[in-house]
Amino acid sequence: MSKAAVSTVSGSERLRQALSALRHRNYRLYWFGQLSSVLAQNMEGVAQSWLVLDLTDSPLLLGLTGLSFAAPTIALTLLGRVIADRTDRRRIMILSQSISASMFFLLATLIVIEWVALWHVMSLAFLSGCVRAFDRPSRMALLPQMVPKDDIPNAVAVGGTIWQLNRLVGPAVAGMLIYWIGVGPTYYFCFGASLVAVVLWLGIRVTSASAAPSASSVAQHMAEGLNFIRKNEIYYTFIGMTFFNSVFGMSYLILMPVFARDVLDVGSKGFGFLQSVGGAGALAGVLLVAWFSHSRGKGRQAIFGATFFGLVLIAFAFSVSFPLSLILAAVLGGASQFYMTIISAILQVNLPNELRGRVMGIYGLTWDLMPVGGLIAGAIAEFGGAPIAVGFGGFMVAIMALAVALLLPNVRRLED
């Protein structure tokens, strides 16, 4: 056989491995349902912001509306993780999506008949936050019931492409629909996309693997999840790295408008370009993880990715060139998504099923702490400037990763 043929076969095999999770029917239904569901979420975020500004013309009330969603998500997240371990995860996922679809329909109707008021939007945002606290852990915990253990890293990586594809497409589609047909019909589109997800997920057939209800209290179940993390080096290390990424690393996204306006002097148009290239880089990052999902040395990959992300973030913080900042923003999106996807896969592969909802819920909670990071970065930027704030965040992420590499050899040598 010629070298060219060998190369072709090798490339085809590599591509098959990169998409291996999609061989499983349940995961295909889950993936396409997720694609539709996350599209609705991304579009709803744009529509809500536009609606609140249209109703109030107040950035403060826009921020409070976002907080009304985030607060119940954070407050109820541990309870949601316990429920995910004690009940049918598929049923919770479908019920939560159905409730979300109903809220989209209700708000769309209020807008179309011109009865909508700010309190309607904030109340539904609060209820959406409550639903999300139970929905997300069930989605995360259901994954190992749909694919074999060997395909879990690939399933996590392929699943990550959903968020990045929608990060590129969702806001743009929402903006065009709002311009062409208005906010109300855009919410009807979100309703339809959510229903598509429900229909697809109804076709998933898995054997329930959640733990049988016990006499233990909800508080005891929460404590079991926290104790598991505390006693397992892999989990407290990688969840700690995720915490540093959310609180210190991702704050650059919150301060990006400041860089566009005050540092790079490119205005709102430049801000849009910075966001778009970041999304493109993130998509490339998850595709890279999918390509190497069956390789070994996952511990080293995660540590290298975190260190690289932190160093690039420092470079971005002090760049005064718009073309260079565009390149660095794309690299930041790819680096962050690369190592965070690897961490998620590591946690999923090594986690006992009876604790999956609680532990992955605590892991997911670290992402909800991004507003805290934004507050810290904003306070630093107020006194020292945005470059200092973002550079400090990059330094913290890189130092955390280097400390793990030097002090925790078991984590560094982790293969799967």
Of all residues in the chain, what percent are helix, strand and coil, respectively (each to 5)? 85, 0, 15
d(C-alpha 102, C-alpha 98), whole Å: 6
Fold classification of 218-416 is Growth Hormone; Chain: A; (1.20.1250)
Neighbour count for residue 28 (Cβ, 10 Å):
16
Query: Is it the case that residue 26 has pLDDT exceeding 50?
Result: yes
Domains 22-202 and 218-416 share a fold: yes
Residue whose token pair is 């396409």: 32
- Report pLDDT digits (tens) over 164-195: 677 667 766 777 787 788 889 999 999 999 99
Q: Is 385 helix (H, G, I), strand (E, B) or coil?
A: coil
Break the chain into its structural domains and give their ranges: 22-202, 218-416
pLDDT band at 309 (very low <50, low <70, confident <90, very high): very high
Residue 297 token pair: 């040395």
Q: How far apart are CA 370 and CA 73, in angstroms?
A: 13
Task: Compute the distance between CA of residue 362 and CA of residue 223 in angstroms, rounded to an integer.
Answer: 11
Phi-psi region of 15 (alpha: psi -120 to 50; beta: other; left: phi over 0): alpha
- Give residue 342's pLDDT: 83
> Would you call 6 exposed, middle or buried from its count of C-beta atoms within 10 A (0-12, 13-18, 19+)?
exposed
HEC sequence for 217-273: CHHHHHHHHHHHHHHCHHHHHHHHHHHHHHHHHCHHHHCHHHHHHHHCCCHHHHHHH
- CATH 3.40.50.720 is held by the domain 22-202: no
Cα separation, 401 vs 342, whole angstroms: 14
pLDDT digits (tens, 9 = 90+) for 78-116: 677 677 667 788 899 999 999 999 999 999 999 999 999
Fill in the DSSP letter of residue 292: T
Determine the Cα–Cα distance for residues 86 and 77; give it in Å rounded to an integer: 15
